[in-house]
Amino acid sequence: MKTWMPGILLPLAALFCAAPLFPQKEEDVKNPLEKDRAAMAAGKKLFAEACGTCHGTTGHGGRGPNLADGKIVQPAKNKQLFDSIRKGVAGTEMPPCSLEDEKIWQLVAFLRDMTANAFETEVPGDAAAGKALFFGKARCAECHMIRGQGGLMGPDLANIGLTRSVEKLREAILQPDAEVDPSFRGVTVVTVDGRKIEGVARNYSNYSIQVVDREGRLHLLERREWRELDWHKKSLMPDNYAQTLSSTEVQDLLAFLSRQSTGSVRRKEEQ
């Protein structure tokens, strides 16, 4: 019987022929200064001086793209980052630079540190104490939900460890006004009958607005029902945590938040 042969050979052929079609795993180079604290600090300073005119001193973008949000930096290999900085990006405003290798690796170390998500970062602090603060004294849960527990005025933080870097989390707690999420803008509405409603605006149009207040109540108002609409410039988040929390407490909160992840990535531990 010959008929068995194609049955066996075809899958084998598929195996051998298909293999080279898969992209070869490209070797990356290691950054000799990876995770080196001093190098990251030097890179941060250098970045502000040499790159800030286009990328913003904190990397949030301007003439050049945002490098702080991780969209460009996270998927890029070390080699690509190094080469882009050394040679520039042809056909764009990104210029070549004559910095020595060590300085470029400092910049790469800084870019990596800025964009690493908190979940993958070693975050010192006591996560259990951070959890107690979150749901207790620091009152974060009045506005934020984590796994179904908490308020609705601020964003749900159940996956925040995976989507933000430690630096971003620290900034969110200590300088909430530095960058306010436009989908959680604060608003104060004064109704024609004199009621004052404060909260975050959802679904605003010229004809109506929905406001979620501190108690989590949803107010639906039509244009003819309000007299004044005052958009807050600042975040609704308290801006005095730097004074009301000790640095240990902030660190404990960061340890707790950094562990928050949902979905397929396993939680570091049940917190």
Binding mask 97-116 for ligand HEC (x = CB under 6 A): x---------x---------
CB-CB contact of 103 with 81 (8 Å): no
Closest to ligand HEC by CB, 225 or 262? 262
Total binding residues for ligand HEC by CB under 6 A? 49
CB of 206 to ligand HEC, least distance (A): 23
Choose the binding region for ligand HEC from 28-36, 46-54, 201-209, 220-228 (rule: CB under 6 A): 46-54
Tokens 């620290």 locate to 170
Q: Between 142 and 225, name the residue whose CB sits nearer to ligand HEC.
A: 142
Measured CA to CA, the distance from residue 86 to residue 96 in angstroms comes to 5
Cα separation, 59 vs 44, in Å, equals 10
**By CB under 6 A, residue 92 contacts ligand HEC:** yes
Using CA atoms, how far residue 213 sits from 113, 149, 200, in Å, is 36, 17, 7
Counting contacts by CB under 6 A, is residue 145 touching ligand HEC?
no
CB of 163 to ligand HEC, least distance (A): 7
94 near ligand HEC, judged by CB under 6 A: yes
Q: How far apart are CA 52 and CA 64, in angstroms?
A: 9
Q: Counting contacts by CB under 6 A, is residue 132 touching ligand HEC?
A: no
Token pair recorded at residue 119: 């979940």
Q: CA end-to-end span of the chain, whole Å?
A: 63
